[in-house]
Homo-oligomer: A and B are copies of this chain.
Amino acid sequence: MQEKLAKLKEILGVVADLHGATALLDWDQQTNMPPGGIENRGNQIGTLSSLAHTKFISDEVGTLLEDLKPYAETLDPDSDDACLVRVTEREYKKATRVPSEYVAEFTKVTVLAHGAWEEARAKDDFGHFQPHLEKIVEMRRQYAEFFAPYDHVYDPLLDDFEPGMKTAEVQEIFAELRPKQVELLKAIAEKEQVDDSFLHQHYNGEKQWQFGEAAITKYGYDWNRGRQDKAAHPFTTSFGLGDVRITTRVDENFLNTALFGTLHEAGHAIYEQGIARRLDRTPLAGGASLAIHESQSRMYENLLGRSYDFWVHFYTQLQETFPAQLGNVDLDTFYKGINKVEPSLIRVEADEATYNLHIMLRLELEIALMEGDLEVTDLPAAWNERMENYLGVVPPSDADGVLQDVHWSGGILGYFPTYALGNLVSNQFWEKINQDIPDLPGQIQKGNFAELLAWLRENVHQHGAKFKPQDLVKQVVGSPISPDAYLAYLNSKFGAIYGLE
């Protein structure tokens, strides 16, 4: 059995190497590649992805998994090897259920759809994107059928990002969350708005960059195993556990973009850097799910980066970096400014109190499309109606509405809810952390993030993808994903900022 396990690990190692090289090809494309490289790059990524897929779905892997499964079931279910066989088998089954003709066809469809979406958004012409999205919805329904029987047609899509999670669970959570977030938003709207004009001034890009790097250095981002570069659409990527890189975008006329972008991506990267090195070159060398990943980025961006305690430590330094812009802005004003709540059209610019509403709207529309309750042609109207109901604003154009996100053009349905779930989980973890480290606020005020990081390493990071997200959350906080902690956080934080009773 040890020999078969070693053989499996060897093949998975090759697959991991191909994925790592593909990630570098992608990173380079977004950070360094000259325009003329695009055709070569497309061929290279295509070739490596295809080789990785072929290696992974080979009969040899299937036979090894079959042989190893009974053995793995005799092991401690939390052991690396038991998890490896379990997770690999799950991924193998998913990968082999989808015919390669479907994968090839879907790739073609989404390449065309992406181009059409870019044009549709530029011209504010939903009709140009509509037939492509119709094809995508049709093919996503086909995809779901590969996994029949299912409880809900959306389940197989969700499962790609949140292993084991069911649509019904998410709907239940969101049903509780939505009215309370809408209610909070209405209460805030009745209060006097805070000032954040000082954030919209000229801030030297190089200095912004240095401040962000200094902050994440304190967080514990390991520069020996990472670096930061510029990219138009920031992301975190890993070429193995020894090399986890982040990218950031700098806006010289708005302080928040680079600052909170860097803190956010660092949260993702610190998670990956914390995975036990012995899991490297296996399918376990990644996050447990997108929601768990997002819980880490949101924690480092919001629960830390937008907290009062964080700025008790960092604000003097920021003022010294930008004396002309912030010399006369006191800490309290600054804190309120970076936490300004304002219903807006664009998800990626949304504040903490409105963000989830953008997500819930998208989830409801995705589910309606998949169920056949909503035609693509009616999508813009449905979008605008929900925007008005949840956020009280209506997009003046589809470009600022239904066409704003890239996801659907890439065929990605099932992804959006993970953003909101990440917010919830971050607060569930946060409550537990504060129980376990009662002095945490004091530590943060001193710029000391070491005990927090040690806690996260121990309880979350080291496990990588060994456990399903719901199992991991239960293991850490004793209960499944729920909105209570997040709601309590929002009410407390914004109650204080806006003087709600």
Chain A contact residues, CB within 8 Å of chain B: 13-14, 17-18, 20-22, 24-25, 28, 32-41, 43-44, 46-48, 51, 222-227, 229, 239-243, 245, 280-281
Complex-state Cα separation, A199 to B20, whole angstroms: 44
In the bound complex, residues from chain B placing their C-beta under 8 Å from that of A41 are 239-240, 242-243
Residue in B17, B25, B34, B242 whose beta carbon sits within 8 Å of that of A24 in the complex: B25
* A276 nearest CB across to chain B (Å): 15
Known contacts: A43-B13, A243-B40. The answer to whether A48 contacts B34 by CB under 8 A is: no
Complex-state Cα separation, A224 to B37, whole angstroms: 8
Complex-state Cα separation, A47 to B13, whole angstroms: 9
15 extra interchain contacts, Cβ-Cβ under 8 A, other than A14-B47, A35-B224? A17-B46, A17-B48, A21-B25, A21-B47, A24-B25, A24-B28, A33-B243, A36-B224, A36-B225, A36-B243, A40-B240, A40-B241, A40-B280, A41-B243, A44-B239
Q: So how many copies of this chain end up in the complex?
A: 2
* A60 nearest CB across to chain B (Å): 15
Is there contact, CB below 8 Å, between B243 and A34?
yes
Is there contact, CB below 8 Å, between A40 and B239?
yes
Is there contact, CB below 8 Å, between A222 and B36?
yes
* A20 nearest CB across to chain B (Å): 5
> For chain A, what secondary structure do more than half of its interface residues adopt (helix, strand, loop), or is it mixed?
helix
Is there contact, CB below 8 Å, between A47 and B227?
no
Closest 6 A/B residue pairs (Cβ): A40-B240, A37-B243, A36-B225, A17-B47, A36-B242, A36-B224
**Could you list some 16 contacts between A and B, CB below 8 A?**
A17-B46, A17-B47, A18-B48, A21-B24, A24-B24, A34-B223, A34-B225, A34-B226, A34-B227, A34-B243, A36-B242, A40-B240, A40-B241, A40-B242, A41-B242, A48-B48
Nearest chain B residue, comparing its CB with the CB of A43: B17
Tell me which of A14, A17, A222, A281 has the highest count of chain B C-beta atoms within 10 A of its own C-beta.
Answer: A17
Is there contact, CB below 8 Å, between B21 and A44?
yes
* A194 nearest CB across to chain B (Å): 40
Known contacts: A21-B44, A34-B225, A227-B32. The answer to whether A242 contacts B39 by CB under 8 A is: yes
Complex-state Cα separation, A41 to B24, whole angstroms: 10
